[in-house]
Amino acid sequence: MPHKIPEISEDFPARILTIAGSDSGGGAGIQADIKTITMLGGHALTAITSLTAQNTQGVTRIDVIAPEMVIAQINAVMTDIGVSAIKIGMVGNGEVAIALADYLEKFPDIPVVLDPVMVATSGSTLADDKTIAAYDRLMFRADLITPNIPELEILTHQNIQSDQQLIEAGRQLAHQYDSPILAKGGHGEGAILVDRLILPDGQEYAWQDSRILTKNTHGTGCSLSSAIATSLGQGLSLKEAVTRARHYIRKALEKAPSLGKGHGPIGHTLGISAFDRWFLENN
């Protein structure tokens, strides 16, 4: 029987820590995570790994935060506020990735969703070879890894041209890291897209939907992983968390506001804020 999605509680919401880069355009990274976590009823905690100068057309500069500062941010909230679940996005460099792996080993019971951010929606590269190699330890720690097709190709050294190849690549990663893999099909061809959740024990689940025709997809992967982390922190099962997160992202894609000249952000607030809903219902 499905779990009931917890009601938003001002006194004790799920505390979701997002460890990611900052997007000055507000569509991806920490900014997207905060919006997503808030919309789904969680309390967002943050550890910024890098500062980026970017907009809907691309990334023009990346400044990585020192590993010591990244860990200090995490430790500050972990030791005071507490953390229900963790989402990891852009880590910045290999040194930060290793520092994160070392720290998170101390907290094996906190669910970790790892979005292996390597390429921005605009096509800009966000991870070098050393950083990709350092993902190894983080992926062993993750309770879910959420690669899209380009990331699957990088991680498995394969050229994925079909759904069957996507499945095989997902199975390879699930077996290699003993972690569930959400192999996302959004970069695939055709009018129908399939996301596949592949578990190390051989269980597999698939979600199939029609493609939403929009160029405003910036931050989709960031938002999906933080939505899953929020639901896990609220007590949903992994399958339920993925189902809920996908529904949220599809609605946000439909409500994308068409900002900027390139790949604009999705509609995180779904066209109306929580306050506006309250105001309209009570006045």
According to DSSP H, which parts of the chain are helical?
Answer: 29-39, 67-78, 94-104, 129-141, 149-156, 163-177, 220-233, 238-254, 274-282
Q: Give per-residue pLDDT as tens, 11-21.
A: 679 999 999 99
Q: Which pair of tokens denotes residue 230?
A: 């929020």
Enter the pTM of the model.
0.91
pLDDT tens for 52-83 read 999 999 889 999 999 999 999 999 999 999 99
Active-site annotation, residues: 184, 217, 219-222
Given a cut of 60, is residue 1 above it in pLDDT? Answer: no
* Cα angle for residues 234, 256, 54 (degrees, 5° grid): 90
pLDDT digits (tens, 9 = 90+) for 118-169: 765 555 555 677 777 778 889 999 999 999 998 898 888 889 988 899 999 9
Q: Could you say which architecture CATH assigns to the domain 15-282?
A: 3-Layer(aba) Sandwich (3.40)
CA atoms of 206 and 218, how far apart (whole Å): 23
**Does 218 or 280 have the greater pLDDT score?**
218
* All structural domains of the chain with their residue ranges: 15-282
